[in-house]
Amino acid sequence: MYFFLNYLALSDLCYTSTVTPKLITDLLAERNMISYNNCMAQLFTMHFFGGIEVFILTVMAYDRYVAICKPLHYTSIMSRQRCNDLVTTCCAGAFLLSFVQCLLTVNLPFCGPNEIDHYFCDVYPLLKLACTDTHTVGILVVANSGMMGLVTFVVLMLSYFLILWTIRAYPAESLSKALSTCSSHLMVVVLFFVPVLFIYIRPATTSPVDKVFALFYTIIAPMFNPLIYTLRNMEMKNALRKVWCQKPLWIGKHFI
């Protein structure tokens, strides 16, 4: 689990770095501008690191399934070589996803207004600016990003269904431990996938509320991932419990 958490943290760092610095600069600047080349670079890198995060979360669900449902075979199934191969596959799949996404956008003609109604360069806002019929491209974008997100989300939910089916007959203590192991990952999955599916699974349209949902999977979810997994650490929980449980006592004019 910690092996994949390392790569999840790295993808979170790179993913937010593609959006957050430019967003902060735009909030401080009077004119918010980005060149065409930088826009395409942001589109590619955002979907690349976002794709890595999606696939890493899916692999982590499989890792939890093997650990809980097949504990005696865990070390042989999830060997170090297998883990390295899975991470490599995640990167290759994310590269293919972002390459196709960028390829569908880079050939579009932009000859009209050049104002993007978003805080970063994404596919749907760019399709809205294209001065050509983008219906076919919009369908391909949904088939690329939307179906990828939907399929991985179904695989995630199937993993947790199999986990719940396996542990239904466990003793109460073992059941509680298994659920506690999966709760943090499930929380991260819901926080990340729900807004992603809302944006990319529907037809290629834009609305003002899209920017609110985009905040969840570009900034809020990656920011909360370290906090959610840190609070799963027993030593961290004990340290926080000691801090919270310390009540200052008033003696005379001093606190102790």
> How many C-beta neighbours within 10 Å does residue 175 have?
14
Domain extent for 91: 2-255
Q: Are 101 and 47 in contact (CB under 8 A)?
A: yes
Cα–Cα distance measured from residue 157 to residue 52, given in angstroms and rounded to the nearest whole number: 18
Cα–Cα distance measured from residue 70 to residue 68, given in angstroms and rounded to the nearest whole number: 6
Nearest to 53 by CA among 19, 93, 22: 93
- Classify each residue of 84-110 as buried b or exposed e, where b means 16 or more C-beta atoms within 10 Å of its C-beta: eebbeebbebbeebbebbbebbeeeee
Backbone angle region of 249, left / alpha / beta, with phi > 0 → left and psi within -120 to 50 → alpha: beta
Structurally, how many domains does the chain consist of?
Answer: 1
Q: Tens place of pLDDT for every residue, the chain, 256 residues?
A: 778 888 888 998 899 899 888 888 888 877 788 888 888 999 999 999 999 999 999 998 888 888 888 888 888 888 999 999 999 999 999 999 999 988 888 888 887 778 888 888 888 888 888 888 888 888 888 888 888 888 898 888 888 888 888 877 777 776 777 777 677 778 888 888 888 888 888 877 777 788 888 888 888 888 887 777 766 556 666 666 676 776 554 444 444 4
Count of residues making up the chain: 256
Q: Are 142 and 203 in contact (CB under 8 A)?
A: yes
CATH number at residue 63: 1.20.1070.10
